[in-house]
Chain A
Amino acid sequence: MALLAYGTAAVFGLVAGTLGVAGALGHAWTLRVPWLVPLTGLELAMDPLSGFFLALVGAVTVPVSIYAMAYARHDRRGRLAFLAFIAAMAAVPLAANVMTFALAWELMSLASYSLVLHDRDAEESVRAAWVYAVMTHAGLACLLAGMLLLGAWTGSLRFADWRAAAPLLSPGARGLAFLALALGFAGKAGVIPLHVWLPVAHPAAPSHVSALMSGVMIKLGVYGLLRAGLDWLGPGPAWWGIVVILAGSVSALVGVLYALVDHDLKRLLAFHSIENVGIILIGAGAGMLFRQAGLGALAVLGVAAALYHTANHAAFKALLFLGAGAVVRGTGTRNMEEMGGLIKRMPWTAACFLVGSVAISGLPPLNGFVSEWLTFQALLQNARIPSPEVNLVFALAIAALALTGGLAAACFVKAFGITFLALPRSGAAAAAHEAPAAMRAGMVALGAACVALGLGPTLLVPVLFAVAAPLAGSPAPPVVTGWVALSLPGEFARLSTLGAAAALVAGLLIPLALLRLLGAERRWRVYETWGCGRLVQTARMEYTATAFANPFKRVFDFFYRPVRRLEVEVHPESRFFVQKITYENPTRSVFEEWLYQPALEALRVAAHRVRALQSGSANLYLVYILAALLLMLVLA
């Protein structure tokens, strides 16, 4: 049965991917079934942007489903929810009116809610699912408010009609609609400070579901932002773009900073999703600002950079979550402090995870580098906008993106090094075993995708320019591409990851040849690690993830605000005989302390006040009904 369910999912993914690629290449169509959905009927429409996101859903579903055939084999629950989840995700980018969109969106949320609530007995899962349900429905409320307002103002619930009618609305109305829609979509995308559900829901879900949620579902929030900010509402004023680019910068930095001090492997990856959505939004915000300034070609570049990073993040984050799933399955823990030495016990998983780590750190010649390069290039061209305020916003985004890149690389040194290298830190890690073939196949496929996306910008960038062109309101600028190099419009810069990869391979061969030529000594001896005179080496002497992250904790202590708790229990006879030492150094979340706790507190106080109305007296309730009736009559 598992094979049948996940086989169906894989075939569905294949079909969706093919349709999506055709759509992205310009094969447009619409489908209307008026009787199927109340009010407006079912309406699907394909355009290049929908095609791109549909292709993304399909392309990630296939390897994830193959992985799930082995990973979720004995898990009876969740198969139906999984199928509903991918079907709903495929429907979201195609929806062409409010009702269709809302149904698909809500089905996607409910299916993923049920998948997060995978383990009903675990308190952690229940809490995670609860937080997720609250956040996603708060987001839905914002979305529906925005959409119904737009529907009322434009007199239509079809997205196609909004395009024509939105530019005629007053700036205040459009701004309000944009804010409502952006809040709803940003919540789904995990933008700071609406991110709180991500680091609890992703670890609680089974890993193949985390891969889809992180790789694809949060991207549909990005899809919505692009649609709302550049398509439905038309080009907006500069502050829309500034809000998006600043939200992206903050998300990128804060996401990676939280990831650095988190030692739960899956939660670390969840924080990196926040970071990467931030990078995507930096590109998208740059595109919006360029469009507002009338620089169409650069707007195309910004949006295309965002789309490229969207595809890249889908590939490497799905890969990393699948790798984390294999590690958790092999060791039975998500805590990195209990891992170590897995590279020898799980060589395939380790190699795939390394590819993902190099890719997400934006290191050449893999795919993360290409999209970060494109984003940098888009940001650097901002000098053509003749407005110093906007230029300074761009300068901040450049600084944030550069800092994010350096911190992300450090974080993945920790994630890979502590998890896979050195001696195992627990018995479970020492007894870990490699994942079965189907799981390895899923990971290898995604690793190959990372390499292909890294080496193929000359083929992909023109396609993405064409997808981005309608959003930027300008024809796609000519990209001069040969097989090898890509030249951006305006001779600003050139990129060739193929050339880079070739040079790196040659660079590997030169020292090999040189050592032989110089007659270097070729003997080598295996011996124990040098240890300053200690007798045996144990895992307790290794650096831990906490120790690795400690310099960052100290450097950014204004942000982490760590608390130091040290308790020493001594022998009653003398304080020099220490019996037990407890040391804790937790960090405190700015957002939970300053935003969510006060908000929840206010909510509770308000609820307490409202309770006065509900006295339990039937007479009083009859008075309420009478008052309401009278009010209705007066108003009518």
Chain B
Amino acid sequence: MTANLVSGVLQMLLVGAGAPLLLGVVRTLKARLVGRRGPDPWQPYADLRKLLAKEAVVSATTSWIFQVTPYVLAATMLTAALIVPALVARPALGFAGGAIFLMYLFLLGTFFLALAGLDAGSAFGGMGSSREAAVAALAEPTAIVAIFALALRAETTDLGGIVRRFAEDPGAAANPGHLLAFAAFFIVMLAETGRLPVDNPATHLELTMIHEAMILEYSGRYLALVEWAAAMKLFLFMTLLANLFVPWGVPAEVTPLSLLVGLLALAAKLTLLAAVLAVTETAVAKLRLFRVPELLAGSFALAVLAVASVFLVR
């Protein structure tokens, strides 16, 4: 009970406070890769502080949905921080429904954000909502099925259980299904967090935006919450990728020493992943919008193959 409480609070702190830094690191790395000096990794914190100091402007067309959504979004990400095995392999809210709960929680956030995009009645918001809904409708199922490929081998849908199972028995992870699921999940991470080649986080060009178009009406503290939640989503997805597929260094028990080990291991894995993400984003161009579903359909097929391979390659 106390261990749960401690690990829960620590994970929430880690995700909430660490997410902007991870985003900053990815941005800095990307800038260096294309030969720019780029901003300081701590820049996202300064951005958030700036937004918090600004007055919010709310469209007269909007309803309460628009104002509630940033809080709902932050709430889903903070709850997700209690389910993802980030520091410990026994996350505090692991009993609440495991992998399926986590993915539907992300979908809950997307659902409200897409509604908020429609709420102001501008064509940009609607365009962003429609596109985001289309991307999420294909990406969420892929993520669920990819995790199921692991869950079926680990014989549990508890995320912590999957991590513990593969950490104990690395041999079980050495199969083609794992590789397929990893590839599918990586593509989903790019799509769900609005990265290249699905969406370009650095542009405000109307016709190519997805996420940015949807949140165009937000300002002030609302925008700060939305940006923070987006950073947390990136952090959570990268943590999932790191700890589910490379389950070593995630302690099963909560002691000061083990937590420190978990933190260091996670930091190392996330830095590596951030570098991979930066290289990927530098190397690929943004896809045309209607090519994106082809990419996602491909990743969905990979995930389904990963599940099928569990039965075929026992």
- Known contacts being A406-B136, A511-B71, A543-B125, is A493 close to B311, with CB within 8 Å? no
- For the complex formed, measure the closest distance between the CB of B301 and the CB atoms of chain A, giving whole angstroms: 9
Residues of the A chain whose Cβ atoms lie less than 8 Å from the Cβ of B108: 358, 363-364
Which of A493, A522, A541, A547 is the one whose CB lies under 8 Å from B121? A541
Residue A515 CB within 8 A of the other chain: yes
Contact between A521 and B54, CB atoms less than 8 A apart: yes
Q: What 0/1 pattern do residues 137 to 152 of B give for CB contact below 8 A with A?
A: 1111110110010011
Q: Flag if A491 contacts B140 (CB, 8 Å).
A: no
B175 to chain A, nearest CB (A): 14
B90 contacts A by Cβ under 8 Å: no
In the bound complex, what is the Cα–Cα distance between A414 and B130 (angstroms)? 8
Contact B121 A524 (CB under 8 A): no
Asked if B105 is at the interface of the complex by the 8 Å CB criterion, the answer is yes
| Chain A residues whose C-beta falls within 8 Å of the C-beta of B134 in the assembled complex | 410, 551-552, 555
The 8 Å CB contact of A492, one of B82, B94, B156, is B156
Check if A529 sits within 8 Å of B122, measured CB to CB: yes
Any A CB within 8 A of the CB of B60: yes
What is the CA–CA distance of A398 and B99 in the complex, to the nearest angstrom? 14
Whether, in the assembled complex, B155 has its beta carbon less than 8 Å from a beta carbon of chain A, the answer is yes
Residue numbers in B under 8 Å from A413 (CB-CB) = 111, 114-115, 118, 129, 133
Residues of A near B141 (CB, < 8 A) are 399, 402-403, 405-406
Check A114 for interface membership: any CB of B closer than 8 A: no
Among candidates A343, A380, A500, A527, residue contacting B152 with C-beta atoms closer than 8 Å: A380
Q: List B contacts of A484 (CB < 8 A).
A: 95
Quote the shortest CB–CB distance from B89 to chain A (angstroms). Answer: 15
| In the assembled complex, B304 has its CB within 8 A of some CB on chain A | yes
Interface stretch of the complex, out of B219-227, B235-243, B263-271: B219-227
Within 8 A of A (CB), among B288-314: 289-290, 293, 297, 300, 303-304, 307-308, 310-312
Interface centre among A340, A420, A548 (most CB of B within 10 A): A548
A511 to B228, CA, bound (A): 10
Question: Is B246 located at the chain interface by the 8 A CB criterion?
Answer: no
* A410-B133 in contact (CB<8A): yes
Specify the chain B residue showing the minimal Cβ separation from A492. Answer: B156
Q: Which of A340, A409, A511, A541 has the most CB of B within 10 A?
A: A511
Using Cβ atoms and an 8 Å threshold, which residues of chain B touch A399?
141, 145, 300, 303-304, 307
Are A503 and B311 in contact, CB atoms less than 8 angstroms apart?
Answer: no
Q: Is B52 an interface residue (CB 8 A)?
A: yes
Contacting residues, chain A, for B111 (C-beta < 8 A): 358, 361, 363, 409, 412-413
Please judge, given known A-B contacts A491-B156, A492-B157, A521-B221, whether A423 and B61 are in contact too, CB under 8 Å.
yes
Are B59 and A528 closer than 8 Å at their CB atoms?
Answer: yes
Q: What is the distance, in angstroms, from B250's C-beta to the closest C-beta of chain A?
A: 19
**Quick check: B127 and A543 within 8 Å, CB to CB?**
yes
Q: Is B93 in the interface zone, CB < 8 Å from A?
A: yes
- Of A525, A537, A549, the contact of B55 (CB 8 Å cutoff): A525
* Chain A residues numbered 367-382 whose CB sits less than 8 Å from any CB in chain B: 369, 372-373, 376-377, 380
| Residues in B neighbouring A420, C-beta threshold 8 A | 63
A531 contacts which of B122, B140, B155 (Cβ < 8 Å)?
A: B122
> Which one of B60, B118, B139 contacts A418 once the chains associate, using CB atoms below 8 Å?
B118
Tell me if A537 and B122 are in contact (CB < 8 A): yes
Complex CA distance for A471 and B24, rounded to whole angstroms: 57
Name the CB-closest residue of A to B56.
Answer: A524
Does B14 have its Cβ within 8 Å of any Cβ on chain A? no
Alpha-carbon distance between A407 and B114 when the two chains are bound, in angstroms? 13
Find out whether the CB atom of A511 lies under 8 angstroms from the CB atom of B55. no
Known: A373-B101, A529-B122. A518 touches B55 (CB 8 A): no
Name the B residues within 8 Å of A528 (CB-CB).
59-61
- A340 to B141 CA separation, bound complex (whole angstroms): 30
Which one of B30-38, B72-80, B278-286 is at the interface?
B72-80
A37 within 8 Å of B by Cβ? no
B residues within 8 A CB of A552? Answer: 134, 137
State A141–B74 Cα separation when bound (angstroms): 55
Residues of A within 8 A of B310 (CB): 383
Interchain CA distance A340-B126 in the complex, whole Å: 13
Q: CB of A463 within 8 A of chain B?
A: no
**One of A493, A541, A549, A554 near B98 (C-beta < 8 A):** A493
Q: List 13 A-B contacts (CB under 8 A).
A: A361-B107, A388-B312, A405-B140, A406-B137, A422-B119, A496-B95, A505-B75, A506-B79, A510-B78, A542-B122, A551-B131, A551-B134, A555-B138
Interface, chain B (partner A; CB < 8 A):
12, 52-61, 63-65, 70-72, 74-79, 82, 93-98, 100-101, 104-105, 107-108, 110-111, 114-115, 118-127, 129-131, 133-134, 136-142, 144-145, 148, 151-152, 155-158, 206, 216-217, 220-221, 224-225, 289-290, 293, 297, 300, 303-304, 307-308, 310-312
**Interface residues of A, Cβ cutoff 8 Å to B:** 340-341, 343-344, 358, 361-364, 369, 372-373, 376-377, 380, 383, 388, 391-392, 395-396, 398-399, 402-403, 405-407, 409-410, 412-414, 416-418, 420-423, 484-485, 491-497, 499-500, 503-508, 510-512, 515, 518-532, 537, 539, 541-543, 547-552, 554-555
Which 9 A-B pairs rank lowest in CB-CB distance, beginning with the nearest?
A543-B126, A507-B75, A422-B121, A402-B141, A391-B311, A417-B118, A551-B134, A410-B133, A406-B137
Contacts A520-B224, A537-B61, A551-B293 supplied; 16 other A-B pairs, CB < 8 Å: A376-B100, A383-B155, A399-B307, A406-B107, A406-B140, A414-B133, A416-B115, A422-B119, A503-B82, A510-B74, A521-B54, A521-B220, A530-B59, A531-B122, A542-B123, A554-B293
